[in-house]
Amino acid sequence: MGTILEVLLRSSANKLQDIITSEAILILGVEEELTEVLRRVELIRCCIHDAEKRRTKELTVNNWLGQLRDVIYDVDEIVDVARCKGSKLLPDHPPSSSTSKSLACKALSVSSCFCNIRSRRDVAVRIRSLNRKIENISKDKIFLTFNTTIQPIRNGPTTKRIRSSNLVGSNLVGKEIIHSSRKLVDLVLAHKENKSYKLAIVGTGGVGKTTLAQKIYNDQKVKGSFKMHSWICVSQDYNEVTLLKEVLRNIGVHHEQGETIAELQRKLAETIEGKSFFLVLDDVWHSNVWMDLLRPPLHETTSGVIFITTRDDQITRRIGVEHTHRVDLMSVEVGWELLWKSMNIEEEKEVQQLRNTGIEIVRKCGHLPLAIKVTASALGSRDLTENEWKRYLGKYVGSQSMLSDEIEGALYLSYDELPHRLKQCFLYCALYVEDSIIWRNEVTLLWIAEGFIEEQQGQLLEDIAEEYYYELIHRNLLQPDSLSFDQSCCKMHDLLRQLALKISGEECFIGDVETLRDGNMSKLRRVTAVIKKDMLVLPRVDKVEVKVRTFLTIKGPRRIEDTLFRRFLLLCVLVLNYTLVQSIPDYIGKLIHLRLLNLDYTGISCLPESIGSLKNLQVLSLRWCDDLHSLPLAMTLLCSLICLDLSGTEINQVPKGMGKLKLLTNLGGYPVGDGSANAVIQDGWKLEELSSLSQMRYLSLFKLERAAHSSTNTVLTDKRHLRKLILQWTERGEGIDGAHAVTKVGPEFFGCKKGDPVCNELVVFPKLEWLIFTDMPNWEEWSFFEEEVAAADVRGEDGAAEIRDEDAQPARVRLLPCLLELELHGCPKLRDLPQELGKDTDCLKELNLRGLNNLKAMEDRPVLCELLVIQDCEGLERICSLPQLIELCVVGCPNLSHVEGLGSLQQLGLGEDMQQEIPSHWVHGLQEQHQQLHGEDLDVYTWR
């Protein structure tokens, strides 16, 4: 608790310093009272470090810290109250020079002054009461025993955003792991024609079952052998309807609201009939997920493999698993290998010097891979010396009094090693129920709303929060989803989640809120409501003031009591998505502390004008609200708003004045107006309103065909933070997919033309990692520089382009420096790819081409290093000079006759048509080359 309190105290002090001289406080005349609060908070900060060290050994210290926690939250609340009441007394547009009480008062009417007296008294009384509480805490006899030397917070510079290619991977080490993965892949392929052949990985939590299963699931041979694939996390308290919908979603099938289990099962059976199927059921706790729920639609209608991970042998027996693979705890040698490889220790001398201490650390981690990897991340910030590692081991002595189990102790130490700014963010992730997907863009906004993100000059809060997110992944405290190319979603391992809940203690609750009573409500600050009934029923609280700051709902409750808005007055975060809430009461305007309101996928048809009173609201999410078609006039009063998301919601009427919200950085589903009216309520916003929003980070424009009426071309000017731009037009029969009119893509693709001086030191898409072009049937030419197209028309007899030296690209241009994967689908007329792709794009690992019928050759791409997939490219004749390529998959290329210069090739996947129709001399050539270079056979497999 102490480490978190240190951060909360610092945060409260910063808020007080910021607000004391603000106009809202000056007009109330309570700056002296708040200055006294700040003085007392700073005094207590001086002793918090010593209190933290003593809390586990002295019950009185722990109790004192509990009282302090309540008071810190009270400080946050009084700051909001004072700002709110003071703001109501200010004129709509106070002069910018009004920085004193006298100037502020001149702007008031006589009646406003009377309101000022009453408001000042109310706020002053609350602040005096708060000061008495703080004084009592500082006069407690235990306070006098603390060492009051201020200790620096371990809060070094945040790790800048770590690209996914540089993140610590799964670090599967040891020959037995390699052998296991190959064995399991072979078993899957050998039984792909069976009806529901069942395999299982069994082992204790954190031992690496999911990691091994992911390796099998992502294997190209497995991917190419089945028509349909689905990965499902089951967890202990899975919902049957939700799980079936997830399976359907994975295989691209739409489901309707209100469908029954039987209807969903029937839809699943009809979809997969006659198609091969690979299904992973991860973290299975109950056999009936297969026996009762998935077996009926899958068992008799398809051929394929069911792959299960579980901790319980009984589960495999009940399900009838044909083969069980057991994952045991790591041996000390393999565990030590995992430790030093996870830390990227490359010098053999260092490996040997640290070996003995490292093995002792492995033992302390209980030989558990998860604990070893997390510990490796914690050790990464320390010097690579034996003494430093021994000092780390010595910390176990102090932690045993709180966590006796060695594995949990290892994980706790890694938490303890976190910079203070990250501890709250890590603990907050435990509010997600077991096996939940944690989306980066969602959780970072939650952190911001809770006030966990420390401002840094020149950076947006969202960028800083994103750095926190990636640092937690880098430290192995969050596990990225292997299916997300940019780590945009992750999960929290259940052992780490249990640890976080244990540390959070009585502040957090996840479960049925109806079971809560007065006794366990007094300290509660954050709630995740898990409801299995049709109605969310709130707890009866008669004698205790509810101080909940976060209220989250999990998909499921269809109706919610309106009293929620009256009983939870201190809410900072309110998430009611996926409910059938149809109206929001006016009373929501009383929730002055609210920073985030999520009403995605709800049944609301309107928002009350009182929403304009939420001066602290930073995030308003209204995605896919089918019945919501207008926004209230008061929307333009939400002066703190940084995120407004209307994606998927058909908004027809909006208030004029969106440009007033200067802090907006994320704006989704912005409906463009035709500019024909200047009324207060319009049919869409003018593009001009975006010109003043210089902080924009994410922007999605809808109904863009109306932009023809716009009188400005400066909408995107000065948007230096912009990271994602989505342009959408109204559907007109053909669908929002493809670009049928495009015939040429040239230098304008990255905003540079020949002769432009900006080109001299241009970095083309410096952060882009994944690029996809789909459904462009008339696209013929693609070049990065104008000279390429001209040179393509001047070819010698051998077809090689003759490019003059004076036409070469500018020397200092960097092209797509972070590009990891490029996909082109459905571009039948495209003749070639720019030569720079696979030459200058040093990070390019995967290239996926499908339906490029006019492509003759894929050659001379020296840095393409991992995977080349080519499907249905009928004109392809040559694949040559790809020296770094590891895996090649080819299907539907009947004219491919020349393949060579693939010296690093390890795996070759061929479609059945390739094996039957193509002369196999080039396959034999690749096999002979591999035998000569590596002394073993090339891995050739059938790819579908």
The residue with greater pLDDT, 353 or 710, is 353
DSSP state letter for 630? B
Res 355: pLDDT: 93
Give the residue-averaged pLDDT of 263-267: 91
pLDDT (tens digit, 9 = 90+) per residue, 576-632? 988 878 889 999 999 999 999 999 999 999 999 999 999 999 999 999 999 999 999
**Residue 858 predicted with pLDDT over 90:** yes
| Ramachandran assignment for 87, one of left (phi > 0), alpha (psi -120 to 50 degrees), beta (any other) | alpha
Least-confidence region, from 246-260, 709-723, 839-853: 709-723
Res 561: pLDDT: 77
* Identity of the highest mean pLDDT range in 211-225, 731-745, 914-928: 211-225
Q: Which residue in this structure is represented by tokens 């004698």?
A: 543
Confidence of residue 525 (pLDDT cuts 50, 70, 90): very high
The residue with greater pLDDT, 903 or 596, is 596
Contacts of 769 (CB under 8 A, 6+ apart): 163, 164, 165, 485, 486, 818, 819, 820, 821, 843
Strand partners, 232: 281
Res 300: pLDDT: 67
**Residue 869 predicted with pLDDT over 90:** yes
Virtual CA dihedral for 295, 301, 303, 306, nearest 10 degrees? -20
pLDDT (tens digit, 9 = 90+) per residue, 214-236? 889 988 889 888 989 999 988 77
- In the predicted model, what is the mean pLDDT of the chain? 82
Please spell the DSSP secondary structure of 730-785, one letter per residue: ---SS-SS--TT--EE-GGGGT--TT-GGGGG-EESTT--EEEEE--TT--EE-SS
Res 810: pLDDT: 46
Res 371: pLDDT: 86
Contact 372, 362 (CB under 8 A): yes
Contacts of 560 (CB under 8 A, 6+ apart): 535, 536, 553, 576, 579, 581
Res 574: pLDDT: 96
Res 768: pLDDT: 72
Number of helices and strands in the chain (H, E) = 29, 36
**Residue 110 predicted with pLDDT over 60:** no
Give the residue-averaged pLDDT of 646-652: 92
Confidence of residue 738 (pLDDT cuts 50, 70, 90): low
pLDDT (tens digit, 9 = 90+) per residue, 112-124? 555 567 777 888 8
**Distance (Å, whole) CA 390 – CA 379:** 11
Edge-first strand listing for the sheet containing 770-774: 770-774, 821-825, 846-850, 867-871, 887-891, 907-910, 939-942
Give the residue-averaged pLDDT of 552-563: 76
Res 792: pLDDT: 43
Handedness of CA 63, 69, 72, 74 (dihedral sign): negative
Res 708: pLDDT: 65
Give the residue-averaged pLDDT of 696-712: 78
Token digits of residue 170: 């799964």
Q: In Å, how far from its chain's centre is CA 749? A: 28
pLDDT (tens digit, 9 = 90+) per residue, 778-793? 999 998 876 543 444 4
